[in-house]
Amino acid sequence: MDETAGTEVNRAEGTGGRAPHPWRLTREGDYLFADWDGQSVLYHTGSGDTRWISALSRMILETLRAGPADHAALFASLRDVVAEADRSWLDDALGEALQELYELDLLESA
């Protein structure tokens, strides 16, 4: 059973305020994307669901395709694609995006 079910993303010290547990994709099937004006449309072949997600959420899902990763690992992989001037918001935005993807049942605690 998913320990974070029904809760907000847990917060813990030393990980940018985020839970240290790894995240993984929840469903089998392909995640297909199309992009318009900084937003992405996600179509999941396993469920048939189509959703609007942010560009950051898309990057998270693409990163998790390679395997589970915790907040710190996701932050490290994403900070390299975010301009230096924009990095100050990344930690909080990453936490919010993880919460959104969790609520959409697109990722779960590994």
Residues 38-64 pLDDT 10s: 789 999 888 899 999 988 999 999 999
Give pLDDT, residue 84: 67
Query: In degrees, to the nearest 5, what angle opens at C-alpha 38 toward C-alphas 34 and 43?
Result: 25
Q: Are residues 10 and 2 in contact, defined by beta-carbon separation less than 8 angstroms?
A: no
**pTM of the complete model:** 0.76
Give pLDDT, residue 22: 94
Does 11 have pLDDT greater than 80? no
The greatest distance separating any two alpha carbons of the chain, rounded to the nearest whole angstrom, comes to 40
Give pLDDT, residue 10: 43
